[in-house]
Chain A
Amino acid sequence: GESVGLHLPTLSVQEGDNSIINCAYSNSASDYFIWYKQESGKGPQFIIDIRSNMDKRQGQRVTVLLNKTVKHLSLQIAATQPGDSAVYFCAETYITGANSKLTFGKGITLSVRP
């Protein structure tokens, strides 16, 4: 079946460095993607989203890149801070409207070294 997955279960980065979190999706019909951040003991928090008609979208310190050719999504975090330590999920959907449902990846842990 269709699935959204992440290449690495954990990522350790030095404070101040840039982080890149990758996600592969298998449904070529997916047209909307979201990145969520989940801190320990909390619910997923929306970070940034992108539609399939875009290749790149920037937010505050974060950039999402979409490569539809290879079905790959990445989240770039600039100048990573200790507060960025969390689990990051990508999610995708290919059904719009009322029955739109998100399919989530299993998550990757970002650990920021001081």
Chain B
Amino acid sequence: NAGVTQTPKFRVLKTGQSMTLLCAQDMNHEYMYWYRQDPGMGLRLIHYSVGEGTTAKGEVPDGYNVSRLKKQNFLLGLESAAPSQTSVYFCASRVGHHTDTQYFGPGTRLTVL
């Protein structure tokens, strides 16, 4: 049972490039989340999903898109990367509506030059 995994672990992009971050969980959790973590800002919610085929905006959704085509995967896309998107990105999953605990992946460190 690997829990929540994220790929890639590190990535450097040039301004304007696009990329997709992959989050996978093998715990059959219904809900999944994408956060960014910046120094002094704590964790901020980008987008989340309450089930396969559904997504919703979080606190800081601009510049990102997400998809949840399969229950176990949650993809975060950057269509045109900007230096302001330099951050560490964390994915999390949650069993379902009856519990609030979220379990996190190891993170992806993204640098946009």
Interfacial residues, chain A to chain B (CB-CB below 8 A) = 32, 34, 36, 41-46, 49, 89, 93, 96-102, 104-107
* B107 lies within 8 A of A43 (CB): yes
* A43 lies within 8 A of B42 (CB): no
* A43 lies within 8 A of B106 (CB): yes
Sorted nearest first, the 5 A-B pairs with minimum C-beta distance are A43-B104, A104-B43, A106-B42, A104-B42, A98-B50
Closest-CB distance, B5 to chain A (whole angstroms): 10
What is the number of residues of chain B that contact chain A, defined by CB distance less than 8 Å?
22
Known contacts: A34-B100, A43-B107, A46-B101. The answer to whether A101 contacts B45 by CB under 8 A is: yes
**Bound-complex Cα distance A107 to B58 (A):** 20
**Bound-complex Cα distance A14 to B21 (A):** 40
* B100 lies within 8 A of A44 (CB): no
Residues of A within 8 A of B40 (CB): 106
Name which of B45, B92, B104 has the most chain A CB atoms within 10 A of its CB. Answer: B104
* A44 lies within 8 A of B58 (CB): no
**Bound-complex Cα distance A97 to B51 (A):** 13
Closest-CB distance, B79 to chain A (whole angstroms): 24
**Bound-complex Cα distance A102 to B42 (A):** 12
* A101 lies within 8 A of B48 (CB): yes
* B97 lies within 8 A of A98 (CB): yes
* B101 lies within 8 A of A43 (CB): no
- B40-82 residues with Cβ-Cβ distance < 8 A to A are 40-43, 45, 48, 50, 56, 58
Residues of B within 8 A of A46 (CB): 101-103
- B9-67 residues with Cβ-Cβ distance < 8 A to A are 31, 40-43, 45, 48, 50, 56, 58
